[in-house]
Amino acid sequence: MDIKDISSEELRKLASSLKQQGITNDSVLNIMSTIQRHIFVEPALRGRAYDFDALPIGFNQTISSPYIVAKMTQLLIETESMENVLEIGTGCGYQACVLSNLFEHVTTIERIKPLYEKTSNLLKALNYKNISSIYGDGFEGCKSNAPYDAIIMTASPSVIPDELVSQLKPNGRMVLPLNINGSQKLYRIKNTKKGILKKEVDDVLFVPMLEGII
């Protein structure tokens, strides 16, 4: 059996375990059962690509577990306003691909140059035409593609970056792992007329969001 056959069987199992773990959105389940996760990890780790773990992607960074990707994506979805999304922390590009099947346009930012180069080449090779891959500091967002319906942060900051909030549309939403006194919580925030509404969702563990590019 080649890896394609193995992965379609694994993808079916992955989607059904996501459902069992409480992922309810059918679009998220459908998309995650079509994207071959093994393509995004190192060849040596491909056998573990459909396990429920976060995996190393080099440069001291990790691809989040499928459950966390599904959970965060589900939190970003609203029936209307699925045009423009910003992701902070491109990493291996898996989350960006999931988003690109749901939103009309995805902008994704990575601060580590070789990781940015490797992933933007992969995304080009996979022919994802609605993803703009940017080398830069996510704290600055990407003004030229703003405003965004939604922003997802896949590295953990210790404050909600004001600059990113300013790049959200009115009623835009942001999902982020916020580090408060050393422990991380997943939040969904909404940019309303009355100010920022903040909802705590879960305990999580992400790599820290660091300033500047390298």
| Residues marked as catalytic | 64
Site track for ligand SAH across 7-36, x = CB under 6 A:
------------------------------
Q: Which window, 14-22, 28-36, 109-117, 189-197, contacts ligand SAH (CB under 6 A)? A: 109-117
- Indicate the residue among 7 and 133 with the shorter CB distance to ligand SAH: 133
Looking at beta carbons only, is 121 or 192 nearer to ligand SAH?
A: 121
> Between 80 and 162, whose beta carbon lies closer to ligand SAH?
162
CA dist., res. 170 & res. 173, Å (int): 9
Yes or no: say if 23 and 70 are a contact pair by the CB < 8 Å rule. Answer: yes
The only residue of 64, 73, 167, 179 in contact with ligand SAH, by rule CB under 6 A? 64
The label of the residue with tokens 């600059």 reads 163
Number of residues that bind ligand SAH (CB under 6 A): 25
- C-beta of 10: minimal distance to ligand SAH in Å? 18
Question: b/e for 83-119, b at 16 or more Cβ within 10 A?
Answer: ebbbbbbbbbbbbbbbbbbbbebbbbbbbbeebbebb
Residue 147: asked if its preceding bond is cis (omega within 30°), the reply is yes
Nearer to ligand SAH, 91 or 172 (CB): 91
- Which amino acid is residue 142, in one-letter code? C
CB of 136 closer than 8 Å to CB of 109: yes
Largest CA distance in the chain: 57
Q: Examine residue 154 and tell whether it contacts ligand SAH (CB under 6 A).
A: yes
User: Rule CB under 6 A: which residues touch ligand SAH?
Assistant: 57, 61-64, 88-89, 91-92, 94-95, 109-112, 115, 137-139, 154-155, 207, 209-211
